[in-house]
Structure 1
């Protein structure tokens, strides 16, 4: 919402080569409580003044010697990054009104002045301009927030990956058919896994020496799409030594809630 102070603190520039018109508009605006009203009788200075002060509203006379209001608006458009020209034109020529709007003016005030009309058009124009600025500010804050949250998420993901690497010997992923599609770590050395081999065999583990009861229990969990935490299984090597492993995993689903496989981590407990 726009407060009364927002309106009264809005910056307004009056551009008119006639001193009487400048004084009348200044007195009217200051009498209504507007605090930031300035004026110039030099149309050549308008673009530089606007670049410096970023006025919320410019009251621009169209008929001035040397540079008319249409030329001033062209200069404002060329120098305004956001393309929004906060201009109400002042004209005594009815035929100039449509041309002024087509040139980028937001509204017009007719001469001779009807003070009630002038006040109403200025108020309405300021309301639109101030709302536009609030939207710009909101979008900047939103963009900054998105950037900060994205950076936080990336940092969190990096920490998670680091902790996962520290806490496990390997990372694994299976597709919906149970084929291993991704593994990392010294899996081949410990388990003899071959990525994509041994469809439906959790871990892609060679059959020799594994505790079949433990493996069947793990298979049942995966078949039921259940997550599992610190599941322990073991095998006996040809030389009689025993190895123990602990594995954790969770099912993966796409945006349509269709099961697409499993992912998890594992660690050898023997050492």
Structure 2
């Protein structure tokens, strides 16, 4: 075995390790402290913390952060078992090993010390070479544990970074799919932003946890992604649709669900639910499956409200924007028919916040007109 992996005649592994090791010695007898200090220093250990009063161990431990503790058992005020209990209560994931020094050889005492957190023990009077060998071996084991902990922490950080990258990639896909549906419809990107933020706001007011609110924020922009598969002659028709054309238009929910099917992650799974079911109605008269009440996924019920509200209060080529009060009145008239009544009544309490969202994501037309006027 190489020198880097073993102790020779009690010598610690590597000169740098000797200099770096921090050892705390706890014993109420000054003579014992002096003897242990001399033995350790003779082997090159320089960072030695001597503690005569066991009541000082915790404070000195926090300040010194030792790599090893040599602990006497029989002491006044607090015995070694009490000190072990105090150290265990800290729940330090990198707690240093504790080698118990005791004149007692009874099995019960030693088992109690080991169960209390001691790593090893030495019986007084101890042999110098045995002491140094145990100190060296214990420090080596602790160093290995710290290296493993550091590697695990690094791996955990890398996993978190990779997970975040995957989530960002999924979000990019979601946003691009949402944008693709915009280009095929009369809807605007600002509509997508308003209804998605309104959906997250409503979810939060309903008591959803933050991670679920973030999911609905990012999944709701794909509610109409299925319109990619609707023929232009129907999708962009300026006038009313015939019964047959309306039936084709309604298939955008099924197309959207097919596009998003089988993703196997929370974001796209919720997006699929929303795409499939946001035209279902509370009373069962919606499409594509005629679901009713709470059989309709909750995220789809939220989007049904926020999508209609923004459509009513926004100007379109085929209609003027409704006043907010008129839109709210119309939607309340349809509570329990089109909309989940509990969700809708919660939604109407959010009108001030919804107005802030509408202002934040206002259509850019007026700004464009002003810019053209400045140019000319």
- Answer whether contact 1:51 1:79 (CA < 8 A) is retained: no
- Between the aligned partners of 2:92 and 2:27, the Cα distance in structure 1 is 25
Aligned residue number for residue 69 of structure 1: 80
- Between the aligned partners of 1:51 and 1:148, the Cα distance in structure 2 is 32
CA apart distance, 1:184: 2.5
- Between the aligned partners of 1:79 and 1:164, the Cα distance in structure 2 is 50
Gaps of 5+ in 1: 171-181, 198-202, 204-248, 255-271
- Answer whether contact 1:76 1:85 (CA < 8 A) is retained: no
Show the 5 A alignment for 1:17-56. Answer: 17-56=28-67
Show the 5 A alignment for 1:213-224. Answer: none
- CA offset digits 1:194-216 (Å, max 9, x no partner): 2698xxxxx8xxxxxxxxxxxxx
Aligned residue number for residue 90 of structure 2: 79
- Answer whether contact 2:66 2:96 (CA < 8 A) is retained: no
SS at match of 1:94: coil
Aligned residue number for residue 230 of structure 2: 188
- CA offset digits 1:105-156 (Å, max 9, x no partner): 1101111120011011111111111111112211111111111111122222
- Answer whether contact 1:7 1:127 (CA < 8 A) is retained: no
CA apart distance, 1:185: 3.2
Structure 1 pair 131/7, CA: closer, same or farther in 2 (3 Å)?
farther
Show the 5 A alignment for 1:199-214. Answer: none
Give aligned pairs, total. 193
Structure 1 pair 14/253, CA: closer, same or farther in 2 (3 Å)?
closer
Show the 5 A alignment for 1:80-95. Answer: 80-82=91-93, 84=95, 86-95=97-106
Residue 153 (str. 1) matches residue 166 (str. 2): yes
- Between the aligned partners of 1:78 and 1:253, the Cα distance in structure 2 is 45
- Answer whether contact 1:77 1:85 (CA < 8 A) is retained: no
- CA offset digits 1:75-112 (Å, max 9, x no partner): 11112333845210100110132322122211011111
Residue 99 (str. 1) matches residue 141 (str. 2): no
Aligned residue number for residue 244 of structure 1: none
- Answer whether contact 2:19 2:44 (CA < 8 A) is retained: yes
Per mean C-alpha deviation after superposition, the further-off stretch among 149-158 and 20-29 is: 149-158
Which of the two has greater helix per residue?
Answer: 2
CA apart distance, 1:164: 4.5
- Answer whether contact 1:7 1:126 (CA < 8 A) is retained: no
Aligned residue number for residue 127 of structure 2: 114
SS at match of 1:113: coil
Gaps of 5+ in 2: 6-12, 185-223, 235-247, 265-376
Which of the two has greater strand per residue?
Answer: 1
- Between the aligned partners of 2:227 and 2:37, the Cα distance in structure 1 is 77
Aligned residue number for residue 326 of structure 2: none
- CA offset digits 1:242-261 (Å, max 9, x no partner): xxxxxxx9xx899xxxxxxx
SS at match of 1:34: coil
Residue 137 (str. 1) matches residue 150 (str. 2): yes
SS at match of 2:121: strand
SS at match of 2:48: strand
